[in-house]
């Protein structure tokens, strides 16, 4: 067993693993954890690890929901065998699986950037603030219901009408896929963020998103969409 390179298996685990020293400084993190660090602060994870650590040396698994932007987890495992280091695994929320046979009814092959920019221009006619768009033009075309998606965007943008600045980011989500009829597809993430958001219609927007098989996450100043890039 001493000859086995266990670090290789940890490094390539799809679940984030982070090792802290007792001062909360990161001593090691695997590839999945590196991706996560762009959406949260190490201090947040360290405090979670301390709060759910076993009372004596060993490990303790806890089922809980954690969300950091578009990253979602259903549980953690906190481990330590001395007073110097503490490690934590965060277990990814299970991969989405869509079995709806009518999923693509009314869908067309679409350039998401073109559709997004068209809706931004319509919103910008009455919007008094500034809009910043950061996009990935290498995102390939995929199937989407253009009318329903445009309706969803219009409802989302309305929540930010009273803000003075709107930031919109679009990218491919790394390390996660959606499953449709045993085929895996990429997930496109759209993040709409500002300093002010009207939360009164969150439930209505959530229902509209789920009707179109889009995961949606609400935070105080932003909304994140996860769209299956079905070809």
Predicted TM-score (pTM) of the model is: 0.66
Q: Is the pLDDT of residue 101 over 60?
A: no
Q: What pLDDT was estimated at residue 60? A: 96
Q: How confident is the model at residue 175 (pLDDT cuts 50, 70, 90)?
A: low
Query: In whole angstroms, what is the distance from residue 33 CA to residue 23 CA?
Result: 19
**pLDDT recorded at residue 217:** 86
Is residue 144 packed enough to be buried (19+ CB in 10 Å), middle (13-18) or exposed (0-12)? Answer: buried
Give the neighbor-by-neighbor strand order of the sheet with 178-180: 97-98, 178-180, 183-185
Q: Does residue 67 carry a pLDDT above 90?
A: no
Find the range with the poorest average confidence among 8-12, 103-107, 155-159, 169-173. 103-107
Beta-carbon contacts of 11 under 8 Å, excluding residues fewer than 6 positions away, are 30, 31
- What structural domains does the chain harbor? 6-92 (3.30.450.20), 98-228 (3.30.565.10)
- pLDDT tens for 115-151 read 999 999 999 999 999 999 999 888 999 999 999 999 9
CA 68 to chain centre: 7
């Amino acid at each position: 067993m001493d000859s086995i390179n266990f670090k290789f298996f940890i490094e390539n685990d799809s679940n984030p693993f982070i090792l802290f020293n007792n001062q909360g400084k990161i001593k090691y993190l695997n590839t999945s954890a590196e991706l996560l660090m762009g959406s949260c602060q190490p201090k947040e994870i360290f405090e979670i690890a301390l709060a759910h650590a076993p009372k004596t040396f060993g490990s303790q698994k806890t089922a809980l929901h954690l969300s950091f932007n578009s990253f979602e987890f259903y549980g953690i495992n906190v481990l330590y065998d001395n007073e110097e280091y503490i490690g934590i695994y965060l277990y990814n929320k299970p991969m989405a699986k869509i079995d709806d046979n009518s999923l693509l009814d009314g869908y067309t092959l679409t350039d998401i950037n073109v559709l997004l920019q068209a809706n931004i221009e319509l919103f910008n006619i009455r919007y008094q603030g500034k809009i910043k768009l950061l996009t990935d033009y290498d995102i390939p075309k995929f199937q989407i219901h253009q009318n329903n998606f445009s309706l969803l965007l219009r409802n989302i943008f309305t929540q930010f009408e009273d803000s003075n600045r709107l930031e919109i980011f679009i990218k491919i989500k790394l390390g996660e896929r959606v499953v449709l009829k045993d085929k895996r597809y990429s997930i496109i993430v759209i993040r709409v963020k500002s300093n002010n958001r009207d939360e009164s219609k969150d439930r209505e927007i959530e229902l509209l998103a789920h009707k179109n098989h889009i995961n949606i996450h609400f935070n105080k100043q932003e909304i994140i969409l996860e769209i299956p890039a079905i070809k």
